Structure 1
């Protein structure tokens, strides 16, 4: 599995750092022991990359004929982009007609599929008590979603829940205790893997001097910005590095004399 993970990371144009490998393997082990898993970390810490790498690795092993591995399909949704009625379903007060919600529809589709493929229902967005409390019966050993129309959707073994969240500041202990946790810390990852992946796509004659300049100046610039600059909109360190690389790519073109 580790070799496949490393190969998938390279195929995605990313860097197989020890941090990334560790987090992907932690996610794999956590998902094997819990059917509900939360990946917690700030923007740019590798949350999305971790589950995408694991998904791709497991699917590749299945296609290679390895036993005990299955194709993985994801069902992503943002719960905070929807009202509770749009998420779980609701009755029309005028007609008393039931309208299915996004989550109830996705869960019904995933749970009714009898193929051995793994189905990951991915919640990409902040966790709060408004919508997560209704998931407690799904996250515990009952594994059943009960809708307000009385319908009960049982979650089979091949279906699991994956939460991608920045923090658990407003999550209740009842919710947290039902999930496995994988914490990704940006300080363990840093900006260098992204820059290295970006440099790998640049011409070699250009990449080598750029790498020397990044190593010489970037940390000093980030420290100066942190100590001396007031930002109207706080910009994460990682986002600033991405903007720098994209700005360089946009300007350093043959049309501009590069």
Structure 2
């Protein structure tokens, strides 16, 4: 186990020895310090002691459900949490994301995809300042100036369209659930998600080179949306 304090600290939480072994092998050549926990209570203790830069969390733990672990960590930390789980239902995904997870990967997954998701989460967590300029290829969202440009040309958005894009940009790369978006943009009006779908469609007409094949504003079916800024 690596413990170089100059490297990003990764806390891996899973009760299956084989999965922890797989993660060690997958990440051993990366610039990480690796820490392990095999149940929810030890994960919470390790999160407090180690102060990891990112957490890889299984949901099916023997003592605490992973969603409860997420909720408890979120009481005091905004560390990026990526769920790694065999649970593939929309309810499980939405529940984990609503509790505060940053991302959700279904087992089995490729090493490349895991590493890519980790890079996105770490990059987002290390961004200086609360209101950066977010660049997604030709799309640029200048949050301090409330200005959006596409290929250098300014894009005119309605206040609601801008608030939706601002929210996604502030969490670029992270899946936001329908409920999270409705709460932040419409003040908790969960009743009719059609207004969200219409706003997304209108926003895509303005920021996507081909709205029928979105490059930036990605739909996570049954869950929510993600602003893709690779």
Normalising by structure 2, report the TM-score: 0.28
Higher helix share: 1
Of structures 1 and 2, the one scoring higher in RCO (CA 8 A, sep 6+) is 1
Structure (1 or 2) with the larger CA radius of gyration: 1
